[in-house]
Amino acid sequence: MQLSLKTHSQTEMIDITGEVQRLIDASGVREGICMVYVPHTTAAVTINENADPSVPADMLMVLNQMVPWKAPYRHLEGNSPAHVKTALIGSSELVQVEGGRLVLGTWQGIFFCEFDGPRSRKVNITWMASTLPPPSQS
Ligand code: ZN
């Protein structure tokens, strides 16, 4: 399955937890693993706090300080910082599914990370359903 996103800024973190859960709901998977994969070289995915919007804002501030937009980069397309940030954050996340729900901590959400927007983007969602019985609730 694939999510389509429209981003609105050069750098931006978008909470996609609800969309991913809706795809899991539609899949009927009860137990297993969900993979969230971003098929781009200038966008990424991460799991972090989605309760306080200051957290993604601070993460973007630090990433922008670590990887400045202006530097003697060699890549002619002019978006090397976006490639570097993508490599730092990563292209995929795995999330456990139990009882049909993504297993995330109280403060965790899944964020699509735009580093060279605004653009139209895709996020691939794949799952592996477990054939084993769910872990016992002991
Ligand atoms: Zn490039």
Residues 87-101 have pLDDT tens digits of 999 999 999 999 999
- Tokens representing 86? 């993508």
> Which residues face 94 on adjacent strands?
35
- Examine the pLDDT at 40 and tell me if it is beyond 90: yes
Q: Are the C-beta atoms of residues 11 and 64 closer than 8 Å to each other?
A: yes
Residues 47-83 have pLDDT tens digits of 999 999 999 999 999 999 999 999 999 999 999 999 9
**Which residue, 76, 79, 75, is CA-closest to 67?**
79
Q: How far is the CA of 87 from the centre of ligand 1 (A)?
A: 12
- Examine the pLDDT at 137 and tell me if it is beyond 90: no
Q: How far is the CA of 78 from the centre of ligand 1 (A)?
A: 6
Residue 134 — pLDDT band, cuts 50, 70, 90?
low
Q: At what angle do helices 54-66 and 80-89 cross, to 10 degrees?
A: 120
pTM, two decimals, is: 0.92
Q: Give me the half-sphere count of Cα atoms (radius 13 Å) on the Cβ side of residue 65.
A: 6
Q: How far is the CA of 138 from the centre of ligand 1 (A)?
A: 50
Q: How far is the CA of 81 from the centre of ligand 1 (A)?
A: 9
Report whether CATH 2.60.120.460 matches the domain 2-129: yes
- Examine the pLDDT at 125 and tell me if it is beyond 80: yes
Alpha helices (H) along the chain: 17-27, 54-66, 80-89
The confidence score (pLDDT) of residue 132 equals: 74
Q: How far is the CA of 84 from the centre of ligand 1 (A)?
A: 10
- Examine the pLDDT at 136 and tell me if it is beyond 80: no
Count of beta carbons in the 10 Å neighbourhood of residue 44: 24
Q: How far is the CA of 46 from the centre of ligand 1 (A)?
A: 21
